A and B are shown apart, each in its own frame.
Chain A
Amino acid sequence: MRARAVAPLVAIVLLAGGCGTNPRHQLAVSSQVVASSLFAAQDAEQALYTAGRITPAQHMRLNQHLVVALTLGREFNIAVRAWDPGQPLPSQLEKLKGSLLAITGELASGYPEEVRGQLLATITATYDAILACLVAAAS
């Protein structure tokens, strides 16, 4: 009786141990999370501009930074598509971190507090996604 009850558990352990998590899948998910965060930052910036919360000049400057960040995000995504387990992590992540810091620097002065808060929240989410990816790759 007890053996029958244990059988499903044994099956779970054996099968779960046999499949593990695919590193490429982890990286693909990371790319999706990074993209979602970057897209959210762009959408938030556009919404703030449409609502008149930032000036046209600020809108232009932020989008100059967003072009860089989105381009790096796209390059990372392309690198992930071609990535195989065992290869080094695509280098675009480090550069993307730098571009996010540039946006943070842009937001440091001349922006209303609530604008800075909203945009920094999306930038921080992107940063977190990158760090999670780097930590996963290192472990």
Chain B
Amino acid sequence: MPKMSAIDVMQWAQAWATLVSIGATTYTTIKRCAEDAGWPEDDARLAALDIEYAARIERAKAAAAGGG
């Protein structure tokens, strides 16, 4: 195996750093895209909201009828 010069080592390290950077960027971007797409979290959040709405509507109805 040929001996690597200091410049070769530096370029090799930079190449790997670039690859790691691209990998991290890709992972972050895909994760953000998945979050933007919102599946399946959106459906779960909207379903939870529906349950809270139902409880709050009942509470408001009781208050509107003079029940506190």
Contacts and interface: CB of A to CB of B under 8 A. Distances in A.
A91 B25 CA distance: 40
Interface residues of B, number: 33
B11 to A, nearest CB: 8
Nearest to B30: A15
Interface string B14-37: 110010011001100110110011
A24 B38 contact: yes
A63 B63 contact: yes
Could you say which interface size class chain A belongs to? 35 or more
A63 B52 contact: no
Contacts of B52: 35, 39
Interface in A12-59: 12, 15-16, 18-22, 24-25, 28, 31-32, 35, 39, 42, 46, 49, 56, 59
Majority secondary structure of chain A interface residues (helix, strand, loop or mixed): helix
Given A12-B29, A42-B60, A77-B50, 16 more contacts: A4-B14, A8-B21, A15-B26, A15-B33, A19-B32, A19-B36, A19-B37, A20-B36, A22-B37, A35-B53, A49-B63, A60-B64, A63-B64, A70-B60, A80-B46, A81-B47
| The 9 A-B residue pairs with the shortest CB-CB distance in the complex, in nearest-first order | A19-B33, A25-B38, A74-B53, A63-B63, A63-B64, A28-B42, A15-B29, A64-B64, A66-B60
Interface of B: 14-15, 18, 21-22, 25-26, 29-30, 32-33, 36-38, 42-43, 45-47, 49-50, 52-54, 56-57, 59-61, 63-66
